[in-house]
């Protein structure tokens, strides 16, 4: 049995490169939001009020429920939290 190497866990588990890239971006945004709330000491209730969502929605984010969040929603949440998003697009080898 040959061992395959992947650049990311998403590359290994997603069916297509497109799905893997989407998951990488969603994951990065969720981690940034979670770290922001932890770093600032913001409660889930405070975060929910800031982002205009419910506290259970913040709980889902903090628990990493990536399946419940689309890329657009996460970009909106990050912006509302005062985070700036930079994007780099590179050509594949």
8 located within any domain: no
Structural domain range at position 55 = 16-80
- pLDDT value of residue 12: 65
Residue 7, burial from CB neighbour count under 10 angstroms (0-12, 13-18, 19+): exposed
- pLDDT value of residue 70: 95
- pLDDT value of residue 7: 73
When pLDDT is cut at 50, 70 and 90, the band that residue 67 belongs to is: very high
Enter the pTM of the model: 0.85
61 located within any domain: yes
CA distances from 4 to 1, 9, 26, 34, 41 (A): 10, 12, 24, 31, 41
The Cα 40–Cα 22 span in angstroms is 27
- pLDDT value of residue 26: 94
Residue 2 clears pLDDT 70, i.e. is over it:
no
Q: Average of pLDDT values for 73-92? A: 93
- CATH number, position 63: 1.10.260.40
4 located within any domain: no
Residue 93 clears pLDDT 80, i.e. is over it:
no
Residue 11 clears pLDDT 70, i.e. is over it:
no
> Burial letters for 23-36: b for 16+ Cβ neighbours within 10 Å, e otherwise?
bbbbbebbebbbee
Q: How many domains does the chain have?
A: 1
């Amino acid at each position: 049995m040959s061992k395959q190497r992947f650049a990311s866990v998403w590359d290994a588990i997603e069916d297509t490169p497109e799905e893997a890239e989407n998951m990488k971006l969603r994951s990065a945004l969720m981690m940034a939001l979670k770290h922001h709330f932890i770093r600032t000491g913001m409660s889930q209730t405070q975060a929910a009020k800031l982002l205009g969502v419910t506290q259970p929605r913040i709980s889902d984010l903090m628990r990493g429920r990536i399946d419940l969040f689309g890329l657009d929603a996460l970009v909106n949440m990050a912006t509302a939290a005062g985070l700036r998003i930079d994007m780099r697009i590179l050509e594949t080898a």
